[in-house]
Structure 1
Amino acid sequence: MTDAFTESLEAKVAEVAAIDDLLARGLAALEARQKLAASDQDLYAIQRAAVQGLRPGRTWAEVGGLFGRSYAWAEAIAKGRSSKRSKADHDAESTPHAGAAEGHGPDTDTPDQQ
């Protein structure tokens, strides 16, 4: 079933794809994706609030079932552990190097070039 949203989105994709100039096409695609991402975050917040609102008196499995999903999905959405979190929610720390947990320093030596 095609709805107005899907039709609008498909029309926008076709409009961007039809732009002849590569730079203009790329910039138009970037702008459209940024708008889509911002709207996705807004929709995620609405969905999260709905899951949280449905939780009292229900198990996570029951809430997940209302959406046709698992208990883990419902719990992750409600607690903000979904892959749809905004970038601001993520830690800025990099992954520690191998051996860091054992107290080893990073390997900074390079093999001799011959």
Structure 2
Amino acid sequence: MFDAEDAFEWIVEHLPDAVAATLTTEDVRRILQLQIEFFEHHGVSPNGNGAAPGGPVIVGGGEQIAYIVEEAARTGEPYLPEQIDAVVETQLAYLQEIGAIGPPADED
């Protein structure tokens, strides 16, 4: 079962050292929160309820990274795309670790 706090702690512990040295735990939490906001803006529901998104929403895609960069900068907490990408990739590793997601879907 997915537990947001367990996920957060796992992500913090497993971030690549080069990125972990540049982010606080609150930075990681903020990036993850902005990711949730991105999904909500695109119609993705955290519990599967609600309308379906109007098209595919790619986790870690350029649009998501750009949204987080822009929103973080707008609120005075700028992050580099590389920092955001590392957090998102580590989150994906966690979701694979707990069996919540599998390998990427084929485009066919």
What is the TM-score of this pair, normalised by structure 2?
A: 0.27
**Rg comparison, structure with higher value:** 1
Higher relative contact order (CA 8 A, sep 6+): 2
What is the TM-score of this pair, normalised by structure 1?
A: 0.26
